[in-house]
C-alpha cells in the first residue's frame, strides 16, 4: 500500500482539500434521480423524488445542437423517447417538445435542474463524452449554466479531459474522474488508469462498484481522495460500497 501510494502522489499535488471535498462523503446519491414507479431516469419527477427522500442527485449531461447542457444519458432518443434522432441533432427548444415513453415528463436542461434543486441537496453532474467528441464545448456549457449557483455540486466524467479543463478554467469547481475496468470502459489496463489519473488530476474518483476492492482505489482513499461508487443496485453491492468506498450512487434494490 505504501509503495503504491507513493507512486500515486503525483496525481494528488496538492492533495484534495478536506473542507472543499469532504461533503462528497456525507451523502448518498440517487443514480439519475430516484427513478422507477413511473418516474423516468434523469427526469424532473425523479429529481423531485430524490430531494423529498433527502438524497443527493447524480445526473448526466448531453449537449444540444445549440450547445445547451441537457439532462440526459443516451446519445440518441430511441430507448427513452422512441425516436431515431441523435441527441446532439436537436436544439434545446426541440428537446423540450419531446415526451418520454413513460410518465409525463419531458427532458430538461441543466438550468432547469439547478432551479429545481436550489441547493437543497448536492449534485454530481456527469458530462458524457466519447472518442472524437468535442467535450470542451460541453464543459463550457455546463460551467456557464453553473455560474452563480451556490449549492453543493461537482462535475465529473469518464473523459479525463473534463477534469483537466476544469482545473485550468474553474479551479474552484469540485471535479471528478469516473472509471471502470470492464469491457465497456476505456481503462481496462493499469497503465490506462494511471494515465487517466495523470491527465485528470481529479478531486475525487467515482469508481465502478464491480471493480472494488482495488489496491489503487484503496491507496487513493488513504491519501484523502473521496471515492463514491456506482451503480449500487443490490444489498450485497451496498455492503461492498460501505466497506470499500465513501458514498454509494445507488438505485433500486441498492437503496436501503
What does the block give as the cell for 254?
A: 441498492
Contact criterion met (CB below 8 Å) for 236 and 253: no
pLDDT score recorded for residue 4: 53
Tell me which DSSP letter residue 10 carries.
G
Q: What is the pTM of this model?
A: 0.95
Distance of alpha carbon 203 from alpha carbon 234, whole angstroms: 27
The CATH number of the domain holding residue 17 is 3.20.20.190
Mean pLDDT (10-residue bins), the chain, 256 residues: 56 76 97 95 98 98 98 98 96 96 95 98 98 96 98 98 97 97 90 93 97 94 95 98 98 96
pLDDT score recorded for residue 16: 79
Tell me which DSSP letter residue 28 carries.
-
Domain holding 70, by residue range, is 2-254
User: For the chain, how many structural domains are there in total?
Assistant: 1
| Helix residue spans in the chain (DSSP H) | 2-8, 18-21, 44-52, 78-81, 92-95, 110-117, 135-146, 160-169, 190-200, 215-223, 235-244
Terminal C-alpha separation, the chain: 32
Amino acid at each position: 500500500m505504501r509503495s503504491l501510494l507513493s507512486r500515486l502522489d503525483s496525481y494528488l499535488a496538492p492533495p484534495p482539500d478536506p473542507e472543499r471535498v469532504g461533503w462528497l462523503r456525507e451523502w448518498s446519491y440517487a443514480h439519475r434521480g430516484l427513478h422507477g414507479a413511473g418516474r423516468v431516469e434523469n427526469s424532473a419527477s425523479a429529481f423531485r423524488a430524490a430531494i423529498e427522500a433527502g438524497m443527493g442527485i447524480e445526473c448526466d449531461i448531453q449537449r444540444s445542437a445549440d450547445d445547451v447542457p441537457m439532462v440526459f444519458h443516451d446519445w440518441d432518443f430511441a430507448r427513452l423517447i422512441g425516436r431515431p434522432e441523435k441527441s446532439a441533432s436537436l436544439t434545446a427548444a426541440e428537446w423540450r417538445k419531446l415526451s418520454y415513453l413513460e410518465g409525463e415528463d419531458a427532458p430538461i436542461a441543466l438550468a432547469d435542474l439547478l432551479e429545481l434543486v436550489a441547493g437543497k441537496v448536492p449534485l454530481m453532474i456527469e458530462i458524457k463524452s466519447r472518442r472524437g467528441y468535442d467535450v470542451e464545448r460541453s464543459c463550457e456549457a455546463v460551467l456557464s449554466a453553473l455560474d452563480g449557483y451556490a449549492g453543493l455540486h461537482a462535475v465529473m466524467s469518464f473523459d479525463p479531459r473534463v477534469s483537466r479543463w476544469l482545473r485550468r478554467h474553474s479551479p474552484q469547481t469540485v471535479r471528478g474522474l469516473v472509471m471502470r475496468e470492464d469491457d465497456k470502459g476505456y481503462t481496462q489496463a493499469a497503465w490506462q488508469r494511471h494515465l487517466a489519473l495523470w491527465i485528470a488530476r481529479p478531486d475525487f474518483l467515482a469508481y465502478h462498484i464491480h471493480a472494488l476492492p482495488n489496491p489503487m482505489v484503496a491507496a487513493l482513499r488513504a491519501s484523502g481522495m473521496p471515492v463514491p461508487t456506482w451503480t449500487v443496485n443490490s444489498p450485497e453491492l451496498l455492503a461492498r460500497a460501505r466497506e470499500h468506498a465513501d458514498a454509494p450512487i445507488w438505485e433500486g434494490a441498492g437503496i436501503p
